[in-house]
A and B are shown apart, each in its own frame.
Chain A
Amino acid sequence: MQLSSEARENTTLVRLEGNLDTNTSGEAHEYLNEAIDGGVRKMVVNLENVDFVSSAGLRILLATAKRLSGEGGSLRICGLNETVSEVFEISGFSTILNVFHSEGDALEGF
């Protein structure tokens, strides 16, 4: 899994690349937590280059959203491919997480 982030005004953009699954979610979770530890409150996670997200991935996205919301921040997610969208639908995550179509959409007015 490839992880990278960049600061955009008051927002931090995190890009993930690979599968967000059993074996990679731990690493991704740590990465996201470190960002929050460092003071990030407004976070956009771009899944454009993520092939599939399993429940383990959903779990860390949910945990991150929960933690940010507890800190008075918030999480936006964008770049879902068809399968990931379907997984978000099936799991109901599309209604409980803030999902945007593109990175631009997610950054706009954040």
Chain B
Amino acid sequence: MIHLGTIPIRNEISVREARNKVRSVAELMTYSEVEATRLATASSEGARMCLLGCVEPRLSLQCEIRGEDASLILDFVDSESPPDIHRLAGFFDRVETAAPAPDGQTVRAYAPPVACGSLPSSVLEELRTVIEKKGREELLVEIRSKNAELQDSLDNLRRTRSAKERMESELNIGREIQMSMLPLRFPAFPDRTDFDVHAALYPAREVGGDFYDLFLIDDDHFCFCVGDVSGKGVPAALFMAVTKTLIKSRAANDLSPASILSHVNTELSQRNESCMFVTVFLGILDLRTGKLTYGNAGHNPPFLKRSTGDLVRLDQRHGPVIGAAGDLAYSQDQLTMQPGDLVFLYTDGVTEAMDPSQTLYSEKRLHDLLAVQELSTVEHAVQVGVDDVWKFQGKAEQADDVTVLSVVFAGRPETDEPDRLELKISNRLEEIERVSQFVNAFSERHGLDDGTRRKLNLVFDELLNNTISYAYEDDGQHEIEMTMSISQDRLYVAITDDGIPFNPFDNRAPDTRLSIEDRPIGGLGIHLVRNVMDRVSYERRGSFNVVHLEKQLNTSKE
């Protein structure tokens, strides 16, 4: 018995395939067309009966050669539902239950022999090929299943890609938040000549949570900081936004970096479930004196480039990173910047930039660069730093944000230009109220004591009352200008009006010794002014009356 091949019976399609194959085999074996069709029908009947079970049956084809005759033998192998012998019997010469195969019961059907002469091996090969060949339907099924697989993997790919896109878009949103928080316009303080600042932040494609800030706390104090938040994406950007906001709002009433950092740390370490943290270098520059107070919370040590060319590394550490552990007291240091001195702040994106051979840029390289380079302006300093990083990095990808910030102290001109306040009012009595507010604000700002403040109020009340009530011959609107200034602990006041020439100090002092009944009402004002101020004078300057007042300030308590 020669084994020709096996056809798995999976479904209706493979039943039809089996039918076609049996027909082809039978025809090749020279069975008549009618006989071949009959055998084909019989095998599909048998195969279909096998389908009832759930284990995959098969149809095995053999042929037996006896002399000039050959017969086709079909084995239906099924572990669960072998075909009914009686139903197949009509189609075949003989149907029997054969010895069970290892994996199932076998029903063997013998087709009638056909006189085909000897079957050359080429024909046997052909028979085997026919059985093995995949039919069109089988192929279609296979293609469909391959297609489904392909579709699955395509869907998978899409899902992966959209997840990646989502992540990237989250990174982009984080990036947008980050960049929108930064002061990007330079010069940032175009009307200031006593200092200048420049900064640049180049975001990396993925990692990075750098930020910087720069703002005037008041006319005399400039605050700047550089930081690096751990993590990336939206959470890091939000953490950064909170950090930046906390620093700024705290600095409004707090000129101590140590205190600001301690406060911000306490705030951030509460409810910090994501365990994010941020490194910060924070400096506050007193623009009157050049005194720089600074605190470093786990950040890269900045450099101070003296106008003499010396380079100083600000290597003091004032506490750990912000947000990691609560209730810490940060410390601070102070140095004095001379006019022309420049500080250079950066993030680890600079020192940890890598060239294509994975070598780190290093702090030493930055140090050497800043030591030899002449840094003419803050903009130039930033450019020099950034350019060198790009040059070093070459074609390597930028791995982290690169941030550089530079501040130069220019100092204020060495003149006795005092702190001045100017105010103009119109000639209406109600305007004196406004003057009073200004006097109070001026006093507050310069730390004048209550006595001096009240006396200033009194003096303006008296003199302005005089001027507004008596200096104008018409009913038109006039302007009265006041200036107040302090120079070397002496307060100078000038009041200028365009009224009729009038020297208030010409009036003789009223006789205060007269009894209550004998005294005229009013007329005391000038007397009070003379007495509460140290010096009073009057001049007629062109068409203006100018009254000058002076008072020594009591600052000994400081």
Contact = CB atoms under 8 A, between A and B. Distances in A.
B525 A55 contact: yes
A57 to B, nearest CB: 9
Contacts of B455: 52, 83
Contacts of B527: 55, 90-91
A96 B454 contact: no
Interface string A32-68: 0000000000000000000111111011001101100
Contacts of A90: 527-528, 531-532
A60 to B, nearest CB: 9
Interface residues of B, number: 30
B458 A54 contact: yes
A94 B548 CA distance: 29
Contact of B528 (A22, A69, A87, A97): A87
Interface residues of A, number: 28
B315 interface: no
B539 to A, nearest CB: 24
Nearest to B512: A92
Given A23-B430, A63-B521, A82-B451, 13 more contacts: A19-B436, A21-B432, A23-B433, A51-B457, A52-B458, A52-B461, A55-B527, A56-B465, A66-B517, A83-B454, A86-B451, A90-B531, A91-B524
A53 to B, nearest CB: 8
A21 to B, nearest CB: 4
Contacts, number: 84
A96 B451 contact: no
A59 B522 contact: yes
Nearest to A54: B461
B345 to A, nearest CB: 47
B462 interface: yes
B277 to A, nearest CB: 50
A65 B519 CA distance: 12
Interface in A14-35: 19, 21-23
Contacts of A51: 454, 457
Given A22-B432, A55-B462, A58-B524, A91 B457 contact: no
B491 to A, nearest CB: 15
Interface in B278-336: none
B457 A52 contact: yes
Interface in B522-536: 522-525, 527-528, 531-532
A84 B451 CA distance: 9
Contact of B458 (A23, A83, A97): A83
A86 B459 CA distance: 13
B513 interface: yes
B360 interface: no
